[in-house]
Amino acid sequence: MSLPKLLLFLSLPLYLLDQATKAWTVSNFAPPWSPEASQWKIIPDIFHWIRVHNQGVAFGLGNGTEWAPIVFLLVPIIAMVMIRIFWKKGVFEHALSKIAVALLLCGILGNLTDRLVQGFLLDEVKNGSFWGRLSQGYVVDFISVKLPLYEKIVPESRGWWPTFNVADSCICVAAIFLFIGGVMDEKAKAKLEKSKAA
């Protein structure tokens, strides 16, 4: 399948789902620092819906630092350029690799949209400068799940996996697909070389 078709039929619907769930979360839950902050215990002590602001990357790395909003605004743009270059070079040959790229682009664009928009929606900085408001950009995370044995690995987590969103899920699945697709591509190349040598 071509990249435009994958973007239309896979990336776009998932991107819209990501943005819709984030918009719903922001509309229905107070900011994390607010006294009214709450969570929806869909399955108590297993699966909660909660509003979290993440200015860092995976697992909240860099969250709360002054450099994170700018650095993590540039990284997705560079990643999209690199994906385009690799796609043109034919690096992503296997079907799973192509699907992974579509998921990866969805995840990158979903979280990049947050970083570009969310800072401008905060009442606390509505009178700030353009750059000041842009630097307050954050990713909306809301899926909170408790995993068996995770508390043994990270005791301070109390078993709760770092909160994430639809875009993050797309990126994680994309990473798995890229790995499997890469292995299958290598096997196919090895088989082709073997048949040529025979």
Spatial CA neighbour of 116 closest among 164, 80, 74, 60:
74
Out of 18, 45, 141, 185, the active site residue is: 141
Element (H, E) at 40: strand 39-43
Strand ordering across the sheet containing 139-145: 39-43, 47-54, 139-145
Q: Which pair of structure tokens corresponds to residue 131?
A: 């750059």
d(CA 141, CA 15) in angstroms, rounded, equals 14
Q: How many CB atoms lie within 10 A of CB 39?
A: 14
The answer to whether the CB of 98 falls within 8 A of the CB of 92 is yes
Tell me phi and psi for residue 98, to 5 degrees: -65, -40
Q: Which pair of structure tokens corresponds to residue 100?
A: 């992974």
Q: Is 168 a catalytic residue?
A: yes
Out of 18, 114, 123, 168, the active site residue is: 168
Task: Give the residue ranges of DSSP H helices in the chain.
Answer: 3-6, 12-28, 68-88, 95-121, 130-134, 150-153, 166-197
Residues involved in catalysis: 141, 168
